[in-house]
Amino acid sequence: MAKGGKRKINEGDVASNRQASFRFEFTDKLECGMVLTGTEIKAIRTGTIQLKDGYVLIREGELFLHNVHIPPYGPAARDNHDPERVRKLLANRKEIDKLVAETKEKGYALIPTRVYFKGSKAKVEVALGRGKDRFDKRESIKKKDMARDVQRQLRDAER
């Protein structure tokens, strides 16, 4: 029987988009900074950010993060932020130009995969991914099942 509770995410991560690796095949990853307000950074520190439906769009040579939910910060009752607002991402011009060229290919999208702190700054990892077909998803499920069976057999052999 499976253990109850929330699944573990990588050490140091505030939030992780585990569903994205199931829906997309990633080719390239990029670390970006985020332009945030004071209540947003405090809410991110609580670890309640949701990346599941998030995506990144490139407009006028700049990256913008859409559909990422950062809930309102409780103690800041009046001066809170909009949880679903569009947030600007910070990256080098060369990196943005490279992403623009790669996303022009059909089927590629920019997906936020994780949010973490680097020092006192909140960073988001954006991955360039192509959507998987249903066949590819079944294949990745088979690989996971086989790896789990191998681990189970190794663990039982040690006993």
1 has a pLDDT exceeding 50: no
List all residues 6 or more positions away from 48 whose beta carbon is below 8 Å from its beta carbon. 70, 71
pLDDT averaged over every residue in the chain: 84
Considering the entire predicted model, what is its pTM? Answer: 0.75
18 has a pLDDT exceeding 70: yes
Residue 158 — pLDDT band, cuts 50, 70, 90?
confident
Determine the Cα–Cα distance for residues 122 and 136; give it in Å rounded to an integer: 33
**Mean pLDDT confidence for 20-27:** 82
Determine the Cα–Cα distance for residues 104 and 24; give it in Å rounded to an integer: 17
Q: Tell me the domains of the chain and their CATH numbers.
A: 13-132 (2.40.280.10)
pLDDT of residue 124: 93
Alpha carbon 26 to its chain centroid, in Å, reads 12
pLDDT digits (tens, 9 = 90+) for 105-153: 777 889 999 999 988 889 999 999 888 777 667 888 888 899 999 999 9
Q: Name beta bridge partners: 13.
A: 116
What number of CA atoms fall less than 13 Å from residue 41's CA on the CB side? Answer: 13
Determine the Cα–Cα distance for residues 44 and 117; give it in Å rounded to an integer: 10
61 has a pLDDT exceeding 50: yes
Per-residue burial over 16-25, b = 16 or more CB atoms within 10 Å of its CB, e = otherwise: bbeebbeebe
pLDDT of residue 63: 93
pLDDT digits (tens, 9 = 90+) for 70-105: 888 888 777 788 788 899 999 999 999 988 888 887
Pairing, β 55-59 against β 62-66: antiparallel
